Amino acid sequence: MKTISVIGSGYVGVTTAAIAANAGFRVHLIDISEDRITVLKSGKSFFYEEGINPLIKLAVDSGNLLPSTSYEPGIAESDIVFSCVGTPDNPDGSSNLEYVFSAGKTAAPLLKDGAIYVQKSTVPVGTGAEVATLLPDHVAYVSNPEFLKEGTAVSNTLYFDRIVVGGKDATAVEAVMQLYKTIEKNRASIAQKAGLNTPEKAGEYIATNLESAELIKVTSNAFLALKISFANSIAKLADESGADVVDVMNAVGADKRIGSAFFNAGRGYGGGCFPKDVSGLIASASDHGVDMPIMVAATDVNDSMPGYIANKAQKYLGGILHDKKVCVLGLAFKAGTSDARRSPGVNLANILDKAGANVQAYDPHANKEAKEELRASIVLHETAEEACQECEAVFIATEWPEFKDINFKALKQNMQGDLLFDGINLLAPSDIKHVGLHYMAVGRENL
C-alpha cells in the first residue's frame, strides 16, 4: 500500500485525502488547525459538501485516513506529498504564498529519498521553481492543479475533465498520473460509497512543463469569470433595450465554438477561487510586465452587480431602502456548498443594510459561515418562510433548489410588499406573475 500525505484540510485537501484513502492509499491528512483535525478524526467534515462525510467516516474507520496536526511521521513515510494549503490574496490582489512556502520548508527535512512533492494549491506561474529550491535534491517537484468545483467536489475529482501534471522529472509526473489512474479504476465503488450517482465519463491526462501547469489553472478560472462578467455586461444592455438576457445567452451559447456554461447573468461570481485567481493573474502578469485590461474590466463588472441589483430594487420601492424590511435568500457563493467567502449574496445583504433596510437572511447551509461577513444588524433565520415574513422585497441570491420550489402564492400572502428579485435568473417569470408578485431580474423584462 502506497502512503501519501496531504498538507492542508480545505476543500481540496479533504476531498483529495478522502478519495485517495477510499482508493486504497494510506493517507496522512495534516493541518495546523486542531479544531479541523478534531472534527475530521470524528469521521466527518467541518464543511458541507455532498458525498464527503461517508468517505471520511469509512476512511477513518478503516485506518486509511489519519488526520493529524503534526508533519511527523506522515511526511517521512510518504511516497507522494500533496500541498493543498490556502493561497489567499494580499490587499493589492497578488497571491499570498506564505502558507505555500511554509509547508515546503517544514516538509523538506522530513521527505524521504525519491519522494515526490506535489503542489495542488493555485499559485502564480513561476512559484514552483522557487518552492523547488527549498526541497532536497532527492525530491522531485511537480505541479498538479485542481479543477474541482465546490458543491460537486467529490464527483469532479472522481469523474474529471482533465488531470494536469507538470514538472521536469518525467518519472515523477508519471507516478502522479498513476495515482489518479488507480483512483479512476476504483471510482465507481467510491461514488457508490459517497451516495453519488454520477455518469461515467472519459477524462484526459495532460503532461506538461511546470510553468504551463501553473498557468493552466488560473487561466481556466479567469476565462470562466470573464464569461460571467460578459453575460452581466450584456444583461445591463438588455435591461435598457428590452431584450431578455436569458434568451440571448442561451442562443449565443448554442454555438458550439462558444458553449453555454457560465453564461448565467445575475449577481456575479464569488467564492474562494474566481475572485482571487483573477486578481492573482492580473498581479502575476504585471510582475512579468504584461497588462491585462480585459481581466481588470471583468473584475469591475463583477464588483458592480450586487449594487446594481440593489439600485434596481430601490427604484421600484419608491426610491428609498431606509426602513424597508427585505429578505436575502442565499448566502453561500453558490449552491451545494456552505462556503460564503466573497459571496455576492452576503455583499448584497450588506449593501441593503448599509442603505438602511431592515435585512433578514437565510441559507440552507451557510448561515454559520456567512455570519462573520454580514453586518451585525442583519438577522439570520432558520427557514426561508420565517426570513420572508412581512417583507416588502425578497431577493434570491443563490441557486439552491429549495428556492425554486418555494410556494410563491403563500410567500405573497406572508409579505407586506410584492417585489421578488431573482438575482440569479433562477425562475420563470410567468410562474411568479400569476400569484401577484412583481418579478424583477437582471437583464429580463419586469413583470
How confident is the model over 397-420, as a mean pLDDT? 94
For residue 403, how many C-alpha atoms fall within 13 Å in the half-sphere facing its CB? 30
Q: Do residue 173 and residue 265 come from a single domain?
A: no
Of the residues 84, 273, 388, 391, which is catalytic? Answer: 273
Query: pLDDT at position 314, please?
Result: 96
Contacts of residue 221, defined as CB under 8 A and 6 or more positions apart, other chains included, come to 122, 273, 274, 277, 278
- Would you state the cell numbers that stand for residue 411, as one nine-digit string? 410567500
Q: Do residue 304 and residue 412 come from a single domain?
A: yes
Domain that holds residue 297: 243-447
Out of 208, 230, 260, pick the residue that ends a domain: 208
Separation of alpha carbons 358 and 316, rounded Å? 17
- Give the pLDDT confidence of 64-112 residue by residue, as tens digits: 999 999 999 999 999 999 999 998 888 888 889 999 999 999 999 999 9
Q: Do residue 266 and residue 190 come from a single domain?
A: no
- Residue 234 falls inside a structural domain: no
- Which of 320, 304, 16 has its CA nearest to residue 176? 16
Please indicate whether residue 273 is annotated as part of the active site: yes
150 pLDDT above the threshold of 90 = no
Lowest mean pLDDT among 16-25, 87-96, 167-176, 275-284: 87-96
Q: Do residue 174 and residue 291 come from a single domain?
A: no
Q: What is the pTM of this model?
A: 0.87
How confident is the model over 158-164, as a mean pLDDT? 95
How confident is the model over 306-335, as a mean pLDDT? 95
Q: Do residue 204 and residue 247 come from a single domain?
A: no
